[in-house]
């Protein structure tokens, strides 16, 4: 908006630093994201970054040292047709069934109201079905397949398999910092530690009321927050109240571990098939640790279950025990997030995959951005695509008002 000529653009951030869940912590040289983060290539995030000339620096995840766990046994992860045929993970019948259903990934039309669990459930072979479910979990960061729209999940897995993902050097904070630098260069006024108390209509403008009693008067407002926070900021909006009530978030338990050395350098990745677990050594690809050190992310995708932090941490540590035996004697730092929000609101099959629109229907010139907004992409793809669209709509609305 600032680049497009808006007279004044102010960013209010309630935290003391920018980034939200994309902020990274530097623990004496080990850089920890808040749980596993990946930049999906070939999606809306990459499109927006390129359109805005925002650079990023990282390395694609490509490794032969990937494994899956099923029934207490560890298998090399099949990465193609030949390795799948040679794998002892799935029997011949299951392989044929899996090959058939993988050919259907391109056909998502008409599946918006179909739960992903129903789509995957057509696979009768239990090992093949578990493998397919694991692929969807790691691509969507979601285990709630009973409610997730199959159409959205198919598009996400198709993109992931076609283009892959990148882990960012210096963590996701590096991308946050680049955005902030470019915003300041464009003239954006950034204030941290300021949480708006309420948004009110003031004639043809919107008033952003602050806790200290002050206020900003704006031609347009973009809320880059979750649905419940948006509804609380604008309590007289029925559409925001409905979005907050209907939101079904996706969450994950995350164990982030900084190690002085990696016991098994040849083990980069583990995907749980009969448990929704995931392990990845991000520092094998991105610069996140001192020389010889490592950063490992372990996560469990949650599906509405009651989280018992001690028990789930012990289980995630068990994943590490099997992948990196002896890791405990090399720990420099750990962080455990028992129920981190991954997505504020999933595209639900029960809602035919429809998410909250960028433009708030009953509040003119109020717009939304976030992973729960708009009709483009999941995760950070949704966040950046909706933000880009919100900026366009805000500029259009203020321009039309000035002309009128």
Closest CA to 254 of 155, 337, 360, 376: 337
**Contact yes or no for 375/366 (Cβ under 8 A):** no
Q: Which domains does the chain have, with CATH numbers?
A: 23-59+170-179+197-247+350-403 (3.50.50.60), 62-163 (no CATH), 249-343 (3.30.70)
**Mean pLDDT along residues 317-333:** 96
Count of Cβ atoms closer than 10 Å to residue 248 Cβ: 17
Least trusted range by pLDDT, from 94-98, 175-179, 370-374: 94-98
Residue 212 confidence (pLDDT) above 60: yes
Tokens of 208: 């952003």
pLDDT class of 88 with cuts at 50, 70, 90: confident
**Mean pLDDT along residues 343-363:** 97
Averaged pLDDT score across all residues of the chain = 94
DSSP reduced 3-state for 185: helix
The kind and range of the H/E element at 207 are strand 205-209
Count of Cβ atoms closer than 10 Å to residue 329 Cβ: 9
Residue 400 confidence (pLDDT) above 60: no
- The predicted pLDDT at position 403 comes to 37
Environment class of 62 (CB within 10 Å of its CB; exposed 0-12, middle 13-18, buried 19+)? exposed
Scan for tokens 């239990």, then name that residue.
Answer: 126
DSSP 296-359: EEEEEEE-SPPP-HHHHHHHHHHHHHHHSTTGGGGEEEEEEEEEEEEESS--BGGGTT--B-SB
At residue 377, φ and ψ (nearest 5 deg) are: 70, 170
Mode of pairing for the β-strands spanning 250-259 and 331-343: antiparallel
**Mean pLDDT along residues 59-83:** 85
Strands, sheet with 269-272, edge to edge from the N-terminal-most edge strand: 73-76, 66-70, 269-272, 277-281, 294-302, 250-259, 331-343
Residue 146 confidence (pLDDT) above 60: yes
**Contact yes or no for 386/369 (Cβ under 8 A):** yes
- The predicted pLDDT at position 73 comes to 86
- The predicted pLDDT at position 204 comes to 87
- The predicted pLDDT at position 402 comes to 45
């Amino acid at each position: 908006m600032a680049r497009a000529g808006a007279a004044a653009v102010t960013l209010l951030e309630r935290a003391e630093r920018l980034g939200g869940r994309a902020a990274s912590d530097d623990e004496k040289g080990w850089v920890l994201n808040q749980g596993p983060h990946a930049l999906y290539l070939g999606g809306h995030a990459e499109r927006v970054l390129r359109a805005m000339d925002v650079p990023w620096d990282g390395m694609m995840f490509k490794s032969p040292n990937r494994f899956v766990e099923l029934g207490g046994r560890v298998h090399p992860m099949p990465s193609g047709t030949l390795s799948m045929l040679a794998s002892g993970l799935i029997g011949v019948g299951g392989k044929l069934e899996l090959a058939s259903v993988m050919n259907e990934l391109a056909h998502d039309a008409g599946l918006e109201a179909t739960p992903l669990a129903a789509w995957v459930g057509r696979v009768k072979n239990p090992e093949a079905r578990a493998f397919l479910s694991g692929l969807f979990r790691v691509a969507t960061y979601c285990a709630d397949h009973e409610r997730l729209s199959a159409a959205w999940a198919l598009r996400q897995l198709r993109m992931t398999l076609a283009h892959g993902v990148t882990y960012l050097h210096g963590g996701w904070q590096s991308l946050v910092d680049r955005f902030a630098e470019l915003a300041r260069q464009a003239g954006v006024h950034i204030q941290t530690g300021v949480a708006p108390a309420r948004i009110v209509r003031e004639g043809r403008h919107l008033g952003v009321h602050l806790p200290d009693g002050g206020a900003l008067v704006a031609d347009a407002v973009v809320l880059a927050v979750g649905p419940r926070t948006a509804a609380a900021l604008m309590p007289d909006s029925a559409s925001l109240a409905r979005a907050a009530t209907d939101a079904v978030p996706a969450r994950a338990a995350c164990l982030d571990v900084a190690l002085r050395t990696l016991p098994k350098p040849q083990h980069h990745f583990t995907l749980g098939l009969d448990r929704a677990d995931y392990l990845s050594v991000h520092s094998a690809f991105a610069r996140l640790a001192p020389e010889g050190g490592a950063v490992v992310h372990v996560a469990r995708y949650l599906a509405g279950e009651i989280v018992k932090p001690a028990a789930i941490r012990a289980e995630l540590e068990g994943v590490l025990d099997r992948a990196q035996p002896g890791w405990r004697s090399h720990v420099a730092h750990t962080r455990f997030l028992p129920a981190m929000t991954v997505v504020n609101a999933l595209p639900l099959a029960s809602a035919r995959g429809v998410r909250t629109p960028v433009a708030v229907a009953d509040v003119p010139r109020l717009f939304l951005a976030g992973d729960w907004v708009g009709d483009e992409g999941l995760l950070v793809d949704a966040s950046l695509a909706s933000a880009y669209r919100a900026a366009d709509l805000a500029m259009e609305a203020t321009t039309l008002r000035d002309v009128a």
